[in-house]
Structure 1
Amino acid sequence: MKLRIRHVSTFAFDAPVKRLVQSHRLSPTDTASQRIMAWNVDTGPASIGAAFRDGAGDWTQTVSLRGPLETFTVTVEGEVETQDQSGVLRGHREHVPPSAYLTSTRRTALTAELRGLAAEASEGTAPGRSLDRAHALCRAVHDAVAYVPGSTEAATTASEALEGGRGVCQDHAQVLIALAHACEIPARYVAGYLMSTEDSVGAEASHAWAELHVDGLGWVGFDAANACCPDARYVRLCSGYDAADGAPIRGVIDGAAEESLDVSVAVLRDGQSQSQSQG
């Protein structure tokens, strides 16, 4: 499948800021499931700084811009050819050992409720069958947390999302990561894009899912929001320990200003002309 992507992020400040510095992981990597045919990240007048591939295999680019600055826009456009690999991440070169992703953060910290759901979901799965257990955990998150846009905040934790019983794709991913940790399965947060269809959810902006490290297969993606493994509709951008660490754009500003973000995303199959999502 050939997908065309346009992703526009506009940062606005309620007072001019003196300087802005951002770290971008906005360029996907070639893997067995995706081949980058064309890709461009436009940061306008910003100065381009260091660029490198980090230990997780994700391309990182720094940008900076001097003010006074009231708005800043990042426009990403590209074309990607995708193939369904049943969620298995093949051909992605990285150096971070899977065991590093047994580390919990504030957003994925385990509670008694999370441990209980993990134990309930794992009941009946055979020892050593980590793939079966991973699928069971994904289904459990899908059933326990309803997809409700606007029901959580950017800083909502896995525990809070489970307690509330609703959330968005980043909440589903973080709850799944927590359940995997309860079962001693390495897990990480993944940011990317999803071409929306009639029966899919979570494509209002950049999408998120989790990857669990499965014996014999390596990293396998699980999208608990849609109760499936990523297929040819998905484009993988970058990963991290949680939604904050795995964000495609992170940054700091010099100035006492409140920041707001407007994001629009369109993921189109080759030949389509209608926008798929905006947020």
Structure 2
Amino acid sequence: MKLKILHETSYSYDAPIEALAQSLRLTPSVHEGQRVGEWRISVSGGQRGAGFRDGAGDWVEGWTVRGPIDKVVVTIQGLIETRDTAGVLRGHRETINPLVYMRSTPATRSNDALQALAHSVKGEDGLDLAHELSAAVHGAIAYVPGATEVWTSAAEALALGQGVCQDHAHALIACARARGLPARYVSGYLHSNLDGTPHDAAHAWAEIHVGTLGWVGFDAANACCPDDRYIRLGSGYDAPDAAPVRGMAFGPSRESLDVRVHVEEIQQ
């Protein structure tokens, strides 16, 4: 599938700030399931700094903007060709040992309810167990936009019984780790839901490390594995760690955020 992406993030400030420094993880991952044809990142009034590929195989680059400024727009425009690998992350070069992803974070910390959900499935084999855990999370947390906040934890989302893709990913990560499987959070884009409904927003899912297969993606929110509708950007322990944009504004100003994402299929 050939996909065209437009992603704009606007930061507005109620008073001019002195400067802005950002770390961007907005370049698609290099693996067998996707091939980038064209990809441009721009920051209004910004200067590109150094870039590097981290131990998880993600490309990270720095940007700075000198003030005074009251608005900054980060724009991504790209063309990418994807193919279905049944969720298996093949050809992705990284140096971090998968066992590192057994580490818990505030967003993915387990509790009695998550432990009970994790042990409610009987799968023994790594891949079967991972599929069953994803199905269990899908059944326990209904997809309800706006039901949770960016800082909602997996335990809180499970108690509420509602959430968005971030909550499904956090809960699945917690459950996988409870059953001894390394798991991590993945940020990216989704072209459309299974019924064909356009998904004009950033997206997130989980990857679980299952034996010789390695990392396999699971989107518990949509009850499927990532296919050619998905574009993978980067990964981390949880949503804050895998955030596509991280940064700091210098100045006593209040920030507001507006995000626009459009993913469009183009003719072969």
Question: Shorter-normalised TM-score: what interval?
Answer: over 0.9
* Residue correspondences, number: 268
Cα contact 1:201–1:225 (8 A) shared by 2 = no
Cα contact 2:2–2:267 (8 A) shared by 1 = no
Kindly state the Cα deviation for residue 32 of structure 1 after the two structures are TM-superposed.
0.6
Does 2:214 correspond to 1:218?
Answer: yes
Cα contact 1:200–1:226 (8 A) shared by 2 = no
Cα contact 1:14–1:70 (8 A) shared by 2 = yes
> Per-residue CA shift, 1:1-52, capped at 9, x if unaligned?
1111111111111222111111001111221100001110011321111100
Amino acid corresponding to residue 170 of structure 2 in structure 1: Q
Alignment of 1:126-145 (within 5 A): 126=124, 129-145=125-141
> When the two structures are superposed, what TM-score results if normalisation uses the length of structure 1?
0.93
> Per-residue CA shift, 1:116-153, capped at 9, x if unaligned?
10000x22x23xx0100000010011111111111111
Aligned-partner Cα distance in 1 for 2:159–2:70: 38
Does 2:135 correspond to 1:166?
Answer: no
> Per-residue CA shift, 1:161-183, capped at 9, x if unaligned?
10111111111100100001100
> Per-residue CA shift, 1:223-270, capped at 9, x if unaligned?
000000000000000000000000100111111222121111111111
Does 2:233 correspond to 1:237?
Answer: yes
Amino acid corresponding to residue 90 of structure 2 in structure 1: R
Aligned-partner Cα distance in 1 for 2:62–2:244: 12
1:277 paired residue number: none
Cα contact 2:194–2:222 (8 A) shared by 1 = no
> Which deviates the most, 52-61 or 253-262?
253-262
Q: CA RMSD in A?
A: 1.4
> Which deviates the most, 130-139 or 248-257?
248-257
Q: 1:260 aligns with which of 240, 244, 256?
A: 256
2:109 paired residue number: 109
SS in 2 for 1:216: helix
Aligned-partner Cα distance in 1 for 2:159–2:193: 29
1:191 paired residue number: 187
Cα contact 1:110–1:159 (8 A) shared by 2 = yes
SS in 2 for 1:253: strand
Aligned-partner Cα distance in 1 for 2:224–2:194: 15
Cα contact 1:168–1:202 (8 A) shared by 2 = no
1:175 paired residue number: 171
Aligned-partner Cα distance in 2 for 1:153–1:260: 15
Aligned-partner Cα distance in 2 for 1:188–1:198: 23
2:91 paired residue number: 91
What stretches of structure 1 of length at least 5 have no aligned partner?
273-279
> Which deviates the most, 94-103 or 8-17?
8-17
1:276 paired residue number: none
Aligned-partner Cα distance in 2 for 1:177–1:30: 23
Amino acid corresponding to residue 84 of structure 2 in structure 1: D
SS in 2 for 1:65: strand
SS in 1 for 2:128: helix
> Relative to structure 1, is the Cα distance of residues 201 and 190 closer, same or farther in structure 2, using a 3 angstrom cutoff?
farther
Cα contact 1:202–1:225 (8 A) shared by 2 = no
Aligned-partner Cα distance in 2 for 1:107–1:257: 27
Kindly state the Cα deviation for residue 198 of structure 1 after the two structures are TM-superposed.
6.0
> Relative to structure 1, is the Cα distance of residues 99 and 201 closer, same or farther in structure 2, using a 3 angstrom cutoff?
farther
SS in 2 for 1:153: coil
Kindly state the Cα deviation for residue 201 of structure 1 after the two structures are TM-superposed.
7.5
